Amino acid sequence: MGIITTVHDKGKPIYDISLETGFDHFANVCETLKIKERKVCLVTDSNVANYHKETLLKFLNDRCHCKTVNEFVFLAGEENKQLDSIKQLYAYLIEEKFDRNDYLFALGGGVIGDMTGFAAATFLRGISFVQIPTSLLAMADSSIGGKTGVDFDSYKNMVGAFHQPKAVYINVRLLDTLPEREFYSGFGEIIKHGLIRDREYYLWLKENAEKIFLKDQEILKEMIYRNNEVKRHIVENDQKEQGERVLLNFGHTLGHSIEKFLHFRLLHGECVSLGMVGAAFISAERGLLSKEELQDIKMALKLYHLPVSYQGLDVEKVLEYMKNDKKMIAGKVKFILLDGIGNAVIDKTVTEEEMKQAIQYLSIED
């Protein structure tokens, strides 16, 4: 049985998150969106297209009765998350005469969701789009909240816009085709949500790891639902990241810098894992976390096959990348620390020396 959660803005419902184990209710979502006489462009990448594109095209044509169904396929990979790629989609939409009443459907992981959302936010000053995430990371994080964007050179998500989807449709069976490493990468964001806001969820993740690894459908649904409730509450309280939503950046300040330093050789969730260890180390050094809690966090990340150390990080270069992060405000980094597991706090006083020590700590093999 599916689960439907509604995301609100100032108390007003703006879109539903449908959590299913198939596409049984996908036609209902299309009917609610009233796309019967609209053009739809299914946007995906060259990897996802091999597994799921034809299934979605068939649903859109046979069950949703769209006016026309088009498809656009990006080359897969973070390196293609650039403005030049978006220009190709703009040109295609213009050639196919899409207008403001038409829809883009994003079928893919976080990269496709971000790119499609950014194109939707900026094409004709904004058209509608739907998120159909295919990776665990996208199901648990990037498909929810309306953040869209592309990288500028190798600076992650430097160009973007807030543009809420009209719907998010999560089919957990799509995880069956996800490569194992990418599956585990998603837990970088999932464990993060427990650490910043829900200690009981964090403990539940540790207790249910074996069932989760077996991809028990009901366990996966419960896991994603509980995860998304954390993010939903935070996003509803702060749509434009003016306050509380910044807490979702736990592990990302350092993680993004490591990601850039390594030229994206590690997956996003893996870099977030390293970033969370670094932030937890600073928290422990300040007495906000106990040494036992720091070790517990590292053990939980290792349980989910995520890295907690990395040899060869250049402290000065990683630090320099951090100074160019979009979260810098007036020369100061908004760092997210933990005041106990389940309670994240915003801190603007983390010093350069503390950041250096955190990067050095990540080089200690555990």
How many beta carbons lie within 10 A of that of residue 244, not counting itself?
16
Q: Which residues are catalytic?
A: 125, 147, 189, 231, 241, 245, 249, 252, 256, 268
DSSP 285-340: HTTSS-HHHHHHHHHHHHHTT--S--TT--HHHHHHHHHTSTTEETTEE-EEEESS
The residues facing 128 across adjacent strands are 103
> H or E element: which one contains 44?
strand 39-45
Alpha helices in 154-244 (DSSP H): 180-185, 187-197, 199-207, 209-213, 217-237
Tokens of 12: 């007003």
Residue 69 to residue 61: CA distance in whole angstroms: 7
Residue 160 to residue 118: CA distance in whole angstroms: 6
Collapsing DSSP states into helix, strand and coil, what is residue 178? coil
